[in-house]
Amino acid sequence: MIDIIAFIILGALAGWIASIIMKTNAQQGAVGNIITGILGAFIGGFIVKAITGNEVNNFIPSLITAIAGAALLIGILRAIRGRTSHA
């Protein structure tokens, strides 16, 4: 149970920081930040494991990985939305 709560808090923090970096903070809200951060953690973790063969286990490296993954996710979503909104 503690792991799930810690994962949600890490996801919220990572999503919030990534939304500030990507300048989407005002559009997402708290739930959007949590979802973005959790998905970003999965994306970032997958990329790190694919490149290095190792998992990220400590808090700060995990947070950095989740922020990078969340920023990548926001960028991909922005590109998709930008492409489809003009149609």
pLDDT score, position 32: 87
The reported pTM is 0.84
Give the start-to-end residue ranges of the domains of the chain: 2-84
pLDDT score, position 18: 93
The position carrying tokens 């003009």 is 86
Rounded alpha-carbon distances, angstroms, from residue 2 to 8, 27, 44, 65:
10, 29, 22, 21
Three-class SS state of 22: coil
Q: Residue 87: which pLDDT band, with cuts at 50, 70 and 90? A: very low
pLDDT tens per residue across span 38-80: 999 999 999 999 999 998 888 899 899 999 999 999 999 889 8
Q: Residue 84: which pLDDT band, with cuts at 50, 70 and 90? A: low
pLDDT score, position 69: 95
Residue at 65: amino acid letter: T
Q: Give the C-alpha separation, 65 to 48, whole Å.
A: 8
Cα pseudo-dihedral 21, 22, 23, 25, rounded to 10: -80
